[in-house]
Structure 1
Amino acid sequence: MRIIEVSPKLVCNGLAGSEGPVFDTHGRFYAVEPFGSVSAEEKEPGTFKDGIAGGLYLIDLDTGTKTLACRPHIDGYGGRPAGCQSDKDDNIWIADMRLGLLKYSPIDGSCIQVSKVDNNGDALNGGNDLVIDDDGNIWFTGPGSAIAPAAEDRESIFKKPTGRIYCLPKGEKVPIFVDDNFSFCNGIVVQDKLLLVAETKTHQIIAYDILGPGKVNNRRVWANVPKDEGSNGPDGMDFDKKGQLLVANHGGSHIEVYSPSGGAEPAARIKFPFALISNLHFKPGSNICYVTEHDSDSVWKFEWEETGMEMYCNK
């Protein structure tokens, strides 16, 4: 197994819980701050009732300057945004741990909650990460804590297999419940008709065959993620153009690289000078990979050996 040591370059810092790196079709770069807050002066009566006030930021890649794009707020409750993807119209879709699935419009600055429930009428299990397939369907993970106004649960979701995955068919407004029994489902990616889900607490990548919007079969273990000392398990993921899967090993100081067929161990490991790697995303049409981490709550970049796989918004 190859061990590749990199010296990433700092892009910006100061994003509490740095996550969700994403580019839109115009090359604008965003990342989220799940553990953001508002001051007493900013907080109006009846808003941000539980003190949670995460935000989506537009980041200037030349200067590292962060500009608040939106601070999700629905029915008195703030959000804890985690994963992001852009559609072809530059809307940023956000998987939010407190508010479920959101859509931010850069045109008017609005951030709307797409739905509170799934097709069974059950409250969404929050949202951690998402991906848009080639047909425009949005697949996302819900690790296990019901969205606001239910009280936030950041204990049992890491101990019990309550995670669920969902799919919002293109043009629809209510997500379809796809499957459950995940021990904290996290990152999620698609390649053609293959759906991969990071199951953090088991250190596994779970695979499905996609049959249609919200329809899958053949659940199986696709890869195992190294259990280094301090490793919490797999987090965000992205493909390169060769079909290799790059997986953030949160707490493990590595991005794990898997062959297109997965396996019991990674084909290579990219070693970083920080441990709590949370997510990654390639700059469109390049081999520059942007990485978020929780050691210093920063965004970094490094050059990978291959170009990143083209995302839905750029196809």
Structure 2
Amino acid sequence: MKLHTPTGFVTGHQFLEGLRWHDGALWASDFFAGTVLTFAPDGDAATVATVPGAPSGLGFLPDGTPLVVSQADATVQRIGTDGTLSTYADFSAIAGGPGNDLLVTPDGHAYVGNFGFAVGSEDPRPTALAHVDPQGTVRRVEGEVLFPNGMALTPDGRLLLAETFLHRITAYDRAPDGTLSSPEVWAQLPEAFMPDGIALDADGGVWFGNALTTGDDAGFYRVVEGGELTDTVPVAGAQAVACAFGGEDLDTLYMSCNATTLEEFVQGRSTGAIATASVGRRGTPA
């Protein structure tokens, strides 16, 4: 496996999630601070919005309007130019737990995950993805998933989903109306690997954070279809949560690294940072 060395980018945050590169800046949600942030290439941070329900996944409509998942009430919020929020979609009837990651496609369809259970007080149980069409209609994606997390869209139109507790990346066919169907295992990972946020590179590999561990396997990994692990960026003493390619040429991998334990996470305590790595590949627009 090819080894890459991380470089510090920013520190001093809490639990950073939902990384996206958009319009020359890195966007991130800070769960516990309740803020949506942007970072300039030099690391300078700005607060875009405050989300009382705790922000998670981020995405952008075709006109550039940012969307953010509000965890507590399982809604997708539209962020106005002045930072005000307005409800874009309510998927609480589908969610079995707090809202989680988000993917918005170039044609304006949004896909939203949720935990499926209360972390720290309930056992994991299956849930379902929500599909929000460009008119704002919310539908349940057929089939069950277990702790759905990061998502990405392949150049041939398939949706890739990280199912953290099943140690795998699942692929869906996607119809012109945005309907997902025919799920199949794209990459089955060893049990030591629990994929969280994902990013797709231009060579067809998926980079993922190995969540829920700060041990020897903590870090970001690249996997190709079929399950072969080809690259790694180790992260010492922190959970590898989300990643995104950014920079002018999409050739820098940004990685959110959060130092916390399950007990601390449930209590809302974490120390968050973002690192970067040059991994010799370019990303695809997310």
Query: Normalising by the residue count of structure 2, what TM-score does the alignment of the two structures yield?
Result: 0.84
Matches of 1:179 and 1:142 in 2, distance apart? 15
The alignment status of 1:175 with 2:135, answered yes or no, reads no
User: Percent identity among equivalent residues?
Assistant: 21
What are the within-5 Å matches in structure 2 for residues 3-22 of structure 1?
Answer: 3-6=2-5, 8-22=6-20
Distance change (3 Å), C-alpha of 1:274 and 1:86: farther
Structure 2: tracts of 5 or more residues without a match: 260-270
Cα distance, 1:180 vs structure 2? 4.4
- Equivalent AA in structure 1 for residue 203 of structure 2: K
The alignment status of 1:204 with 2:176, answered yes or no, reads no
- Equivalent AA in structure 2 for residue 245 of structure 1: V
- Equivalent AA in structure 2 for residue 256 of structure 1: Y
- Equivalent AA in structure 2 for residue 127 of structure 1: G
* Number of corresponding residues: 267
Match of 2:283 in 1: 308
What are the within-5 Å matches in structure 2 for residues 198-237 of structure 1?
Answer: 198-228=162-192, 233-237=194-198
Match of 1:188 in 2: 151
> Which portions of structure 1, spanning 4 or more consecutive aligned residues, are displaced by more than 6 angstroms?
none
Secondary structure of the corresponding residue to residue 108 of structure 1: coil
Cα distance, 1:289 vs structure 2? 1.2
On the 8 A contact 1:162/1:180 being kept in 2, the answer is no
Match of 1:48 in 2: none
Matches of 2:44 and 2:272 in 1, distance apart? 15
The correspondence for 1:55, drawn from 35, 40, 47, is 35
On the 8 A contact 1:3/1:271 being kept in 2, the answer is no
Secondary structure of the corresponding residue to residue 144 of structure 2: strand
The alignment status of 1:154 with 2:126, answered yes or no, reads no
On the 8 A contact 1:204/1:221 being kept in 2, the answer is yes
What are the within-5 Å matches in structure 2 for residues 50-129 of structure 1?
Answer: 54-62=34-42, 64-72=43-51, 78-99=52-73, 100-105=75-80, 107-117=81-91, 122=93, 124-125=95-96, 126-129=98-101
Matches of 1:306 and 1:271 in 2, distance apart? 17
On the 8 A contact 2:207/2:222 being kept in 1, the answer is yes
Distance change (3 Å), C-alpha of 1:239 and 1:299: same
The correspondence for 1:243, drawn from 177, 198, 204, is 204
**Structure of greater Rg:** 1
* Cα deviations by residue, 1:139-197 (Å, 9 ceiling, x for unpaired): 2212225xxxxxxx32366x232322121112x12322113422211111111321111
Matches of 1:274 and 1:22 in 2, distance apart? 24
* Cα deviations by residue, 1:176-220 (Å, 9 ceiling, x for unpaired): 211342221111111132111111111111121112434222222
Root-mean-square deviation (Å):
2.2
Query: Normalising by the residue count of structure 1, what TM-score does the alignment of the two structures yield?
Result: 0.77
Q: Which has the higher strand share?
A: 2
On the 8 A contact 1:226/1:265 being kept in 2, the answer is no
Match of 1:279 in 2: 242
Matches of 1:263 and 1:127 in 2, distance apart? 29
Cα distance, 1:123 vs structure 2? 5.2
The alignment status of 1:132 with 2:104, answered yes or no, reads yes
Cα distance, 1:101 vs structure 2? 1.3
On the 8 A contact 1:95/1:129 being kept in 2, the answer is yes
* Cα deviations by residue, 1:219-252 (Å, 9 ceiling, x for unpaired): 2221123333xx5x11000111112111111123
Matches of 2:142 and 2:12 in 1, distance apart? 36
Structure 1: tracts of 5 or more residues without a match: 37-53, 73-77, 146-152
Match of 1:43 in 2: none
Match of 1:29 in 2: 26
